[in-house]
Amino acid sequence: MKPPLTTDEALAKLEYFCAYRERCPKEVRAKLASLGVSRKDAEQIYEVLQTDGFFNEERFAMAYAGGKFRINHWGKVRIRMELRMRNIAADLIEKAIDSIDEAAYTALLQQLFDKKRRHYEGEEQARDKTAAALIRAGFEMERVFALVSREW
């Protein structure tokens, strides 16, 4: 069994953890708990990391929303839900969602629609499957149904 980490060792591990990519406060607290740091030391480390800017809730929300939109092709509904699960403040979630360019969002929805339409081409329920895939990706139902009814 390994000896418990000292406060300095735990701080160094958490600094690396936070520097690797953007982290939300919930992830930082979970990592501290997984390292087995005492509650008192964990709070001190958390405060030091926050003060030194190793993590920031707003910065995380903006990076997360942008990345999941550009790379994973998620819609606003799914991004909003995932940010809520990470206990991000509602105003920061809306700010992150609003940072997504509307023209790029519409273009991505159209691109994914075309891709799914080709994928399900010739199937009996192609229209329904296409709509369901876009909704699962996190796009708003109203927008998906409007697009499907206009394009099909």
* Residue range 102-144, pLDDT digits in tens: 999 999 999 999 999 999 999 999 999 999 999 999 999 999 9
> b/e string for 98-126 if b means 16 or more Cβ within 10 A?
eebeeeebeebbeebbeebbeebeeeeeb
Looking at the predicted structure, is the pLDDT value of residue 48 above 90? Answer: yes
pLDDT score at 152: 81
Prediction pTM value = 0.91
Is the pLDDT score of 3 beyond 80? no
**Half-sphere exposure of 147 toward its Cβ, with a 13 Å CA cutoff?**
23
Q: What pLDDT band is residue 99 in, cutting at 50, 70 and 90? A: very high
pLDDT bracket for residue 17 (50, 70, 90): very high
**pLDDT at 21 (0 to 100):** 96
Q: What is the pLDDT of residue 4?
A: 79
